[in-house]
Chain A
C-alpha cells in the first residue's frame, strides 16, 4: 500500500527497532478497563449485538458442528438405504433430496464455515491484535450463514429441498426439469451463505496483511497465517464464478433469460465450467487451513521447529495458483478434445508436487524432533494415513483414461471422502484437541478422545476403503437401488455397518468436547509449551486478547510473553480512551502506521442480514416486485452502517509506546477500509472476468449460434454507451479533483456534486439503452448476456452514485475536510473500477452489434 496521506495529524514515526517498552501496570486494572470497552453487551442483548471475533469464531465453529451432525445423519440415511439392494427405506424423491443436501451441507454449511470460524477465532490471537479488521462484517457474515443454512434446513423439513445433486447440473436443475422451488432453495440459500464466505475472505486477507504485530514480517509470520492468506485469496477469486453461475441460473429459472438452455443459444457446459472453476479450488480452500493447523501443531508435538518454512510458503503459493488450473478434471467425460484434457490432467498431477513438499516437510519435522503421542498426534497419524491414500487416488483420477472409467462411480465417492475427511476432518480434530485448552481454559478428560479417534479411524476406513472396489465394479453415484447387481451387496453392507461405527466415533468426539468444556480440570497457561502469541494470554482468552500488544522482541509468544503483555509492557496498553483501538502495520515492513478505531457492539449486522434474508425469501416465493422494497432496505441499512463510523472532528494522535505516537485512521488514506475495498474489488473483478468468460464461451462454443439479428439502433446504442462510460469517467476525474482540492485546503463539495450528477447521468444513459436499444433478453443467450453486461454496469453505476451522494453528505457535514479522508479512498477505487468495467462491457456491446 502507498504511504500517501494528507495532512499533519500523522504523529511521529519510528522503525520497529526503536520501539520501547511501556512501564508495567497492574494487570487487573488494565483488564477491567479493557473489558469495559471490548466485552459483549450483557445478557440476551449480547447475543445479537456481539461483533467480537472470539465470540463469533466460536459461534461459527459451533454452528458448523451442528450442521456437520445434520449432514452426518443424512449420510446415515443414505447408508441405510444402500445397505440392501432394494431398500424401501426412502423413496427416490426423498433419497435424491437427501444426498443433495448431504453434499451441500458438508461443503457449504460445515467445511467452509468451520475453517472461517477457526480463522476468525485464531488469527487475531496468532497475529497479536485485538480483533479482525471489520468486526461488524464478521457478525453480518455469521447471520447470513445462519439464515441461509436455515432456509436450506426448513426446505428439507418441508420436503422441498434441492434434489439435483450438490453440483446442480443444468438442464436437470433448470425450470423445465426441476419445476417447484427446490432448485431455487439451493441457488438462493447457498448464495446467501456465500456472502459470509466473501465477508470472511475480505477480513482475513486485510487482517493478515495489515494487522500483524509490529516487526512480524511477512517472511517471518507464523505458517498458519500464510495458509490462511492463501485460503482467503483463493476464496476471493474462487467464489465469484459460483456466485455468477447461481445468479445466472436463478435469472434463467425466474425470468426466462437463457444462459444454459440449448434451444435458445445457451449451453449446459457453461454451468459446469463456472461451477468447477469454483468447485476445484474449493477443495484446496478446505485443505489449506487444515494444513495450516498441521504445520502449527506437528512441531509442537515433536518439540522442535517446522522444517522447510520457505519451501512450505513456496508450496502454498504454488497450490493457490495451480488449483485454479484443474477444474476440467471434473469434466473429463463431457466430450472435450484429448489435448485440452491433457493440459488439465497434467496440471492435476502437478498439484500433487506442492502437496508432497508439505507432507515430506512434516515428516522431516517429525524426524528432526521427538514425536510425543498426545491426542492431537493420533489425529495427525490418522491424517497421514487417510490423506496420502486419498491423494494417490486423486492422482489416479487425474489420469484421463482411468477417469473415463471411474468418473461418477463410487470410486470417486470414496476418493473425495478420503481427501475431505483425511485432509480436513482429521486435522480439525487434531486442532480441536490442541486448542480446546486455549478456548475453554480446561484440560481434557483422559481416554475418551483416544476412544473416539480409534472408532472414527476404523469406522472411516471400513466405510470407504472397500468403496473404491464398489466403484470399480461399476456402481454409479446417486442411485438408490441395485436389484440386478448382487455382487455389490456385501460391499455396500460393509460400508453401511462401518458408517454407523464412524458415527458412534463422532458422537464420542462431540461428547469429549462437551465434557472438556463442562467438567474438565483447569488447564495451565500454555499446556503444550507451545510458542506462538495464541498462548500468550489468559485462558480462556479475554475479550480484548492482549492487554498490551506484542511488538519486536515479544513475537515468540508462549506463556513467558503473556505476563509482560498483561502488565501493559507492550504497545498501546489498555483502553484509556474507551475506544476499541488496534494497531495497523505496513504490508511488507510490518512497521506500525496508524491506529484503527473499531466499531463497538451493534445489532446492525443482524438487521442487515434480515433485510437480505427478506430479499431472498421474496425471490423464493416468486414475489419479485416485493424484492424492491427489500433491496431499498438493504441500501438504507448500508448507509446507516457507513454513518456509524463517520467522524466530523479531528482525532489526536495516540501514544503507542514511549516516544511513538500514531495518527488515527480517519486522517489517513491507507486505512483498513481501503485495503478491504481492494480485496472486494478483486472478487468483483473475478466475477466480471467470469462473466466475460461466459460471453466468450457461449459465442464460440455453444450450439444454437449465430443468434438472430439485433433490432436496436446501433448509433443510438453507441451514443448511450459513450454516455455511460463518459459519465463514470467524469466521476473518476471529479474524485481526483476533489482530492486535490482537499490537499490544497479547499472544499470537496463541488467535485462530489459533479461526480454525483455524472454518475446519475451515466445511469440514465444505461436505462435508456436498456429500454430503447437492447433486445428482449429472453429471445437468445446473446441478448440475455447483453442484458447481464448492462445490468452489471448499471449496478456499479448505481453504487457509484450512492457513494458520490454519501461523499456529498460527508462533505456537507465536515467529515471530509482538513485531513479527514471520509469515504474518499474507498469511493475513488470503486469509481475507477466502475468506469473501467463499464468501458469493457460497453465495448463488447458495441462489438456484438457490429459483428452481427
Chain B
C-alpha cells in the first residue's frame, strides 16, 4: 500500500493532493476507480459464465435489469457525487485573495498582493498565502493556454478575450509545480511555472522586492 502510494507521488501528481479541491477530486478518483474495477470484474464474470451450457433468462433481465436499472443506479450515484464536489470547489464571493495569471507564448506573468497589500508582478513564480482560499484570474495574451497546479486543484483555460476564474488553496506552506495544459505551440512542453505557498506570517523576500504590477493590454 505504501509502495502504491509512493508510486502516486510526484511534483505534478493529482494523486498527491496538497489542497482541498485536489483532495476532494483525488477522493472522487479513488472511489470511481474501485467502482470501475468492480464493474470490470463483474462483466468478466458474466462473460465467463456464458461459456457454460445455454441458460435462458428473460430478455428484460438483461436489457432492463442490467442494461437500464444497474447502469442508471451507478451513473446517478457518480453524477450526484460529481456535482456535489463540483459545487464545493467553485469560487464564491467570500473575500478570497485574488491573484492573476497571465499566459503568453511561452511563459507566465503573475500579479499577486504582497505583505503590504500592494499588487506586485512576478515572472514564472506565483506566490499565494497558505491555508487561505485564493481565486486565480486566468487570462491569455495570444493563444489558448491552461493554468494547472495539479497538487492544488483542477485546471482552467487561459483564453484570449476572457477572464476565467479558478479557486485554489494550499493546505501548508511549500512549493508546487504548475504547467500549461493546453497545447500552445512550439514552447508548450517547457511552459512551466512554480507556485510558492507561504505562511501568512512569513511572506517571502521575493515578493517584497517585486515591482508593482503593470496593466495588461486587454484590461
Does A484 touch B at the CB level, under 8 Å? Answer: yes
Within 8 A of A (CB), among B59-102: 59, 61-64, 66-68, 70-72, 75, 78-79, 81-83, 85-87, 89-90
A472 to B177, CA, bound (A): 14
In the assembled complex, the CB of A468 is this many whole angstroms from the nearest CB of chain B, namely 9
Residues of A within 8 A of B153 (CB): 404
- In the complex, are the beta carbons of A407 and B86 less than 8 A apart? no
In the assembled complex, the CB of B149 is this many whole angstroms from the nearest CB of chain A, namely 10
Does A334 touch B at the CB level, under 8 Å? Answer: yes
Within 8 A of B (CB), among A13-64: none
- In the complex, are the beta carbons of B90 and A473 less than 8 A apart? no
Does B156 touch A at the CB level, under 8 Å? Answer: yes
Does A172 touch B at the CB level, under 8 Å? Answer: yes
- In the complex, are the beta carbons of B28 and A353 less than 8 A apart? no
Q: Chain A 106-134, CB within 8 Å of chain B: the 1/0 string?
A: 00000000000000000000000000000
Given the known interface contacts A165-B183, A342-B86, A482-B189, the answer about A368 and B54 at a Cβ–Cβ threshold of 8 Å is: yes
Residues of B within 8 A of A352 (CB): 71, 75
- In the complex, are the beta carbons of B14 and A262 less than 8 A apart? no
Residues of B within 8 A of A481 (CB): 189-190
Of A267, A371, A472, A481, chain B has the most CB atoms within 10 Å of the CB of: A472
- In the complex, are the beta carbons of B47 and A400 less than 8 A apart? no
- In the complex, are the beta carbons of B55 and A172 less than 8 A apart? no
Contact check: which of B44, B53, B83, B164 meets A335 at CB < 8 Å?
Answer: B164
Contact check: which of A342, A367, A408 meets B57 at CB < 8 Å?
Answer: A367
- In the complex, are the beta carbons of A384 and B162 less than 8 A apart? no
- In the complex, are the beta carbons of B182 and A473 less than 8 A apart? no
Q: Chain A 357-385, CB within 8 Å of chain B: the 1/0 string?
A: 11111011011111100000000010011
A395 to B74, CA, bound (A): 10
- In the complex, are the beta carbons of B71 and A477 less than 8 A apart? no
In the assembled complex, the CB of A572 is this many whole angstroms from the nearest CB of chain B, namely 37
Does B49 touch A at the CB level, under 8 Å? Answer: yes
Residues of B within 8 A of A473 (CB): 8, 10, 12-15
Within 8 A of A (CB), among B99-142: 105, 142
- In the complex, are the beta carbons of A401 and B189 less than 8 A apart? no
Does A356 touch B at the CB level, under 8 Å? Answer: yes
A480 to B185, CA, bound (A): 11
Given the known interface contacts A367-B57, A392-B40, the answer about A401 and B28 at a Cβ–Cβ threshold of 8 Å is: yes
In the assembled complex, the CB of B117 is this many whole angstroms from the nearest CB of chain A, namely 27
Does A269 touch B at the CB level, under 8 Å? Answer: yes
- In the complex, are the beta carbons of A363 and B62 less than 8 A apart? yes
Contact check: which of A171, A345, A384, A482 meets B79 at CB < 8 Å?
Answer: A345
Within 8 A of B (CB), among A460-491: 469, 472-482, 484-485, 487-488
Residues of B within 8 A of A702 (CB): 161
- In the complex, are the beta carbons of B86 and A338 less than 8 A apart? yes
Does B209 touch A at the CB level, under 8 Å? Answer: no
In the assembled complex, the CB of B39 is this many whole angstroms from the nearest CB of chain A, namely 6
- In the complex, are the beta carbons of A172 and B162 less than 8 A apart? no
Given the known interface contacts A342-B86, A405-B14, A484-B192, the answer about A369 and B54 at a Cβ–Cβ threshold of 8 Å is: yes
Closest to B153 in A: A404
Does B181 touch A at the CB level, under 8 Å? Answer: yes
Contact check: which of B12, B32, B55 meets A474 at CB < 8 Å?
Answer: B12
In the assembled complex, the CB of A841 is this many whole angstroms from the nearest CB of chain B, namely 27
Q: Chain A 393-405, CB within 8 Å of chain B: the 1/0 string?
A: 1011011111111
- In the complex, are the beta carbons of A333 and B10 less than 8 A apart? no
Does A791 touch B at the CB level, under 8 Å? Answer: no
- In the complex, are the beta carbons of A335 and B157 less than 8 A apart? yes
Does B216 touch A at the CB level, under 8 Å? Answer: no
- In the complex, are the beta carbons of A385 and B44 less than 8 A apart? yes
A353 to B57, CA, bound (A): 20
Contact check: which of A335, A402, A480 meets B165 at CB < 8 Å?
Answer: A335
Of A177, A401, A476, chain B has the most CB atoms within 10 Å of the CB of: A401
- In the complex, are the beta carbons of A335 and B75 less than 8 A apart? no
In the assembled complex, the CB of B202 is this many whole angstroms from the nearest CB of chain A, namely 27
- In the complex, are the beta carbons of A172 and B144 less than 8 A apart? yes
Q: Chain B 14-33, CB within 8 Å of chain A: the 1/0 string?
A: 11000001101100110010
In the assembled complex, the CB of A461 is this many whole angstroms from the nearest CB of chain B, namely 12
In the assembled complex, the CB of A252 is this many whole angstroms from the nearest CB of chain B, namely 14
Does A598 touch B at the CB level, under 8 Å? Answer: no
In the assembled complex, the CB of A816 is this many whole angstroms from the nearest CB of chain B, namely 51
In the assembled complex, the CB of B10 is this many whole angstroms from the nearest CB of chain A, namely 4
- In the complex, are the beta carbons of A360 and B62 less than 8 A apart? yes
Of A304, A333, A370, chain B has the most CB atoms within 10 Å of the CB of: A333
- In the complex, are the beta carbons of A476 and B78 less than 8 A apart? no
Does A159 touch B at the CB level, under 8 Å? Answer: no
Closest to A314 in B: B63
A683 to B26, CA, bound (A): 43
Does B43 touch A at the CB level, under 8 Å? Answer: yes
- In the complex, are the beta carbons of A485 and B181 less than 8 A apart? no
- In the complex, are the beta carbons of B29 and A476 less than 8 A apart? no
- In the complex, are the beta carbons of B63 and A360 less than 8 A apart? yes
Closest to A265 in B: B161
In the assembled complex, the CB of B6 is this many whole angstroms from the nearest CB of chain A, namely 10
In the assembled complex, the CB of A295 is this many whole angstroms from the nearest CB of chain B, namely 13
Residues of B within 8 A of A315 (CB): 67
- In the complex, are the beta carbons of B67 and A476 less than 8 A apart? no
Does A773 touch B at the CB level, under 8 Å? Answer: no
Contact check: which of A169, A269, A384 meets B47 at CB < 8 Å?
Answer: A384
A177 to B61, CA, bound (A): 56
- In the complex, are the beta carbons of A402 and B28 less than 8 A apart? yes
In the assembled complex, the CB of B121 is this many whole angstroms from the nearest CB of chain A, namely 23
Residues of B within 8 A of A469 (CB): 7-8
Of B15, B24, B56, B78, chain A has the most CB atoms within 10 Å of the CB of: B78
Does A682 touch B at the CB level, under 8 Å? Answer: no
In the assembled complex, the CB of B218 is this many whole angstroms from the nearest CB of chain A, namely 8
A169 to B184, CA, bound (A): 9
Within 8 A of A (CB), among B132-172: 142-144, 146, 148, 150, 153-157, 159-162, 164-165
- In the complex, are the beta carbons of B12 and A333 less than 8 A apart? no
- In the complex, are the beta carbons of B10 and A371 less than 8 A apart? no
Residues of A within 8 A of B29 (CB): 396, 402, 405, 472
In the assembled complex, the CB of A557 is this many whole angstroms from the nearest CB of chain B, namely 24
In the assembled complex, the CB of B82 is this many whole angstroms from the nearest CB of chain A, namely 4
Q: Chain B 182-213, CB within 8 Å of chain A: the 1/0 string?
A: 11111011101000000000000000000000
- In the complex, are the beta carbons of A401 and B85 less than 8 A apart? yes
Residues of A within 8 A of B67 (CB): 311, 315, 353, 356-361
Given the known interface contacts A363-B62, A399-B32, the answer about A487 and B9 at a Cβ–Cβ threshold of 8 Å is: yes
Given the known interface contacts A262-B160, A399-B28, A487-B9, the answer about A169 and B75 at a Cβ–Cβ threshold of 8 Å is: no
Q: List 29 A-B contacts (CB under 8 A).
A: A172-B144, A172-B184, A307-B63, A311-B67, A334-B159, A335-B157, A335-B165, A349-B79, A353-B71, A353-B72, A356-B68, A361-B63, A361-B67, A364-B63, A366-B50, A371-B50, A385-B44, A401-B25, A401-B89, A402-B82, A405-B25, A409-B181, A469-B8, A474-B150, A475-B12, A478-B188, A480-B189, A484-B177, A704-B161
New contact pairs (12) apart from A302-B50, A472-B15, CB-CB < 8 Å: A177-B143, A267-B161, A356-B71, A367-B46, A369-B54, A392-B40, A402-B32, A403-B154, A407-B154, A472-B14, A474-B13, A485-B12
Q: Which B residues contact A (CB, under 8 angstroms)?
A: 7-15, 21-22, 24-25, 28-29, 32, 36, 39-40, 43-44, 46-47, 49-51, 53-57, 59, 61-64, 66-68, 70-72, 75, 78-79, 81-83, 85-87, 89-90, 105, 142-144, 146, 148, 150, 153-157, 159-162, 164-165, 177, 179-186, 188-190, 192
Q: Which 10 A-B pairs have the closest CB atoms?
A: A404-B154, A474-B12, A364-B62, A357-B67, A262-B161, A399-B82, A366-B50, A335-B164, A479-B189, A311-B63
Q: Which A residues contact B (CB, under 8 angstroms)?
A: 92-93, 96, 164-165, 169, 171-172, 176-177, 262, 267-269, 302, 304, 307-308, 311, 315, 333-335, 338, 341-342, 345-346, 349-350, 352-353, 356-361, 363-364, 366-371, 381, 384-385, 388-389, 392-393, 395-396, 398-409, 469, 472-482, 484-485, 487-488, 702-704
